[in-house]
Structure 1
Amino acid sequence: MSENSTNEAVSAQSAARTDAQWREMLSPTEYQVLRQGGTERPFTGEYVDTETTGVYECRACGAELFRSTTKFHSNCGWPSFFEPLAEDRVRYIEDSSMGMKRVEVRCAACDSHMGHVFEGEGFNTPTDLRYCINSVSMRLVPDAQGE
Structure 2
Amino acid sequence: ILTLLVAVILLALPIFASESSEKSSANEQGKKYETLDEALTVGKPVLCLFHTSKACRCTMKKCKAALATCDSIAYSLPDDVIYFKVDIALHKSAAKTHKIMAAPTIVFFDKNRLETSRLQSWQIKREAIEQGVMEITKKEQK
Q: Which range, TM-score by smaller chain?
A: under 0.3
When normalised by structure 1's length, the TM-score is 0.25
Higher strand share: 1
